Amino acid sequence: MVLLARYVVTPWEVEGDVDYKRLMTEFGIQELDDRLLERIRRQAGGLHPFLSRRIFFAHRDFGRVLDQYDQRDPFFLYTGRAPSGHTHLGHLVPWIFTKWLQDAYGVELWFQFPDDEKFLFKERLTLEDTNRFTEENMLDVIALGFDPKRTHFLIDTRHAGIMYREALRVAKRITFSQVKSSFGLTNEANLGQVFYTAMQAVPAFLPSVLAGKSLPCLIPHAVDQDPHFRLSRDVVGKLGYDKPASIQCRFLPPLEGTSGKMSASADSLATIWTVDDERTVRKKVNKYAFSGGRDTVEDHRRLGGRPEVDVAYQYLTFFEEDDTKLRKIHDDYAAGKILSGELKGILVEKLVGMLGRHQDAREKARNKVDSYLYTP
């Protein structure tokens, strides 16, 4: 658990004004530097904006898997979604990037839905709830267009028949003391919470088990999940497989401000869900998005807006892929040419277009689930 003066980041809690520089030091993760970005640009034929804009900003051993890729030993991707509720905009960030990686490198993806985790950590959730959310969340993942031939969904309770055995091999090599210090679990943690991290480690080497040889693994994930993989990297190594590498992103901030992450709580009024309609998105952005504008139109025209604290602008850095357009919006806003309400309008238009296409694809995903579920 990382607990600094101003923020808390664990796999279950992200609070306060996250200082990503300090987080890298605390977690012991490396910055995604220009040299690495240049390698990706060369291999992939371009850079996703999440890279050039340092939304993905840190990594572990990413250089090694790129070396292996160059030596014709391609990595597989592993990411996931803990099904505690519906999918919101922030969840899409690592998945959009994972989809880009799959296409750019032409690799396999193992996508885990740890329905056990959310059942164990949320008192009120039943297994029936987490199973239902898994069904919903799978539609959002499929809607992003992953290649069904190279994508394999693993649902912990459904695939326990192959996963539990491998989780045991991890669990035997991690002590309660270790999870206590990594996650801040107490003696009042339930037995499943203690065991769970072993299940989360499994997809990092299950493809190697199935292939009968060690395959490099790359895990794109939000930085709060690092404690799980930090703990399991050594164990996976001791089991005779490559330590999984990772590439880590920062959080989409909540609408109300640029710190923390968007709330996944069902009763959060300011969360934009993938199933929200145009009217709802417009209302949430207009009502809740923290503005970097000035108190009066006159002041705004004279002093200019502050894009660095304006959430509408921050969101556009995630979702407006065109660098030229984004730069112009930034400059016009900073120069006072665009008013705060107009900036929100630009974001709403962007999100409504994106979510409209997503919702169409999401409906079509309903009869595609079986082709993504892993079958031994």
Determine whether 213 is exposed, middle or buried from the number of CB atoms within 10 Å of its CB (0-12, 13-18, 19+): exposed
* Shortest spacing between CB 143 and a second copy, in angstroms: 27
What is the CB neighbour count within 10 angstroms for residue 197? 25
Kindly state the smallest distance separating residue 142's Cβ from a second copy, in Å. Answer: 24
| Structure token digits, residue 82 | 């803990």
| Cα–Cα distance, 357 to 12 (Å, whole number) | 31
Least gap, CB of 239 to a second copy (angstroms): 11
Min dist CB 235 to a second copy, Å, is: 10
Q: Which is nearer to a second copy, 195 or 205 (CB)?
A: 195
DSSP letter at 305? Answer: -
Question: Could you tell me if 288 and 269 are in contact, meaning their C-beta atoms sit under 8 angstroms apart?
Answer: yes
Encoding tokens for residue 96? 């959009």
The nearest distance, CB 119 to a second copy, in angstroms, is 6
Pick the closer one to a second copy by CB: 183 or 273: 183
Q: Residue 349's CB: how many other CB atoms inside 10 A?
A: 13
| Closer residue to a second copy, CB minimum distance, 49 or 114 | 114
Q: How far is the CB of 123 from a second copy (least distance, A)?
A: 9
State which residue, 205 or 251, has the beta carbon closest to a second copy: 205
Task: Compute CA 367 distance to the chain's CA centroid, rounded to the nearest angstrom.
Answer: 25
Would you say 112 or 263 has its CB closer to a second copy? 112
Question: Residues near 324 by Cβ (< 8 Å), separated by ≥ 6?
Answer: none
Positions touching a second copy (CB under 8 A) are 116, 119-120, 127, 156-161, 163-165, 167-177, 179-180, 185-192, 194-195, 197-198
CA–CA separation, 15 and 8 (whole Å): 5
Token reading at 346 = 């630009």
The three-state secondary structure class of 16 is strand
Separation of alpha carbons 189 and 170, rounded Å: 19
State which residue, 53 or 158, has the beta carbon closest to a second copy: 158
- List the structure tokens of 134: 């898994």
Q: What is the DSSP letter of 46?
A: S
> Closest distance between a second copy and the C-beta of residue 172, in Å?
5
Secondary element (H or E) of residue 3: strand 2-3
* Torsion of the alpha carbons at 327, 89, 65 and 38, rounded to the nearest 10: 0
**Shorter beta-carbon distance to a second copy: residue 23 or 154:** 154
Question: Looking at beta carbons only, is 34 or 188 nearer to a second copy?
Answer: 188
State in angstroms the smallest separation of the CB of 126 from a second copy: 9
